[in-house]
Amino acid sequence: MNRYMMEGVGLTILGGILWGFSGMCSQFLQQFRHVRAEWLVPIRLLLAGVITLGLAYSQKGKDIFNVWRCKRDVLDLVIFAVFGIGLCQYSYFKSIYYAGAGIATVLQYLGPSFIIIYVSLRYVKWPRWIEMLSVILATLGIVCIALQGHWDASQMQSTIVFWGLISAVAVAIYSYQPNRILRTYGTMPIVGFAMVIGGLVGCGVFDLDNTESIWDLWTWLAFFSLVFLGAVVSFNAYHEGVQRIGAVRGSILSSVEPISAALLGWTILDNHFTSYDIIGFILIIITIFMLAFDANRHTESD
């Protein structure tokens, strides 16, 4: 592997680790500094969106505004902003609040399974066997996390499951819905505008009262990490890495995100995981590798 590819691997892993680290920062801010998700999500999106648009403008100039010339593209952008980025961020942060960064991040990785189900229903065709197996394994993973070995639905941790599933659905929307406008206008302008729109909608929908939060040095450091490292640096590092090594290898390496979130939460925030949590982690992460290798096989055969 040459230096260019090695740097791509390093950047991709860095992006995933920073995403996992930002999940831990979100848990710290919500559980230990009482910063509400209803305040945290809109403000984070606004700040990260403005920074991202600034970086995009420095590269492309006024071309970043081209998306606003087509009504259909504006509608797709708004859908992506509200139901992709906005809903994804809010449901993920709520899931972190109730379940911790490790479990919340793993539950997000049910997203590819929802994409498989959606595509199968839309085009009225059965998924291939490896896709079926990945959905089954992902389902078993969430059952392990939700029921904790008590095979009785009344024992289900319903709040964790609810926000985790909403988060996974939002990830599916985030991953699938904006592909056309991303190809047309580029990643940074679309994501930047979507963050700003999602942040503005959040400011209008949520009560931004945050008087109970505790602001000290650690709060500011965690907030800075959440906005800058977890949204701007991680995003650019990951996508630069994927451009160098390809989407298939990138999707495999992305599994470092839930692993890093779980390990950081365990070592720094003293999160505890049961054997059923760990089994659920493994089953869901296996689906990432299965789908990535399947995509690689089809790419090579085309």
| Token pair listed for 179 | 């592909």
Choose the weakest-confidence range: 4-13, 180-189, 232-241, 252-261: 252-261
Averaged pLDDT of the chain: 82
Per-residue pLDDT at 289: 73
State the pLDDT confidence band at 272, using cuts at 50, 70 and 90. confident
Q: How far apart are CA 52 and CA 188, in angstroms?
A: 6
Per-residue pLDDT at 155: 53
Helices (H), 148-178: 158-176
Give the alpha-carbon dihedral of 29, 34, 36, 39, to 10 degrees: -70
On the question of pLDDT at 251 being above 70, the answer is: no
State pLDDT tens for residues 175-230. 778 888 988 998 889 989 999 999 999 999 998 888 889 999 999 999 999 999 88
Domain ranges of the chain: 3-301
Alpha carbon separation from 176 to 26, 115, 296 (Å, rounded): 25, 7, 18
For the whole model, what pTM was predicted? Answer: 0.81
Q: How far apart are CA 62 and CA 176, in angstroms?
A: 27
Which of 190, 178, 179, 164 lies closest to 67 in space, CA to CA? Answer: 190
Please give the average per-residue pLDDT across 116-132, as a whole number.
75
- Answer whether 22's CB lies under 8 Å from 226's CB: yes
Higher-scoring residue by pLDDT: 43, 6 = 43
Name the burial class of residue 207, with classes exposed (0-12), middle (13-18) and buried (19+) by CB atoms within 10 angstroms of its CB: exposed
On the question of pLDDT at 152 being above 60, the answer is: no
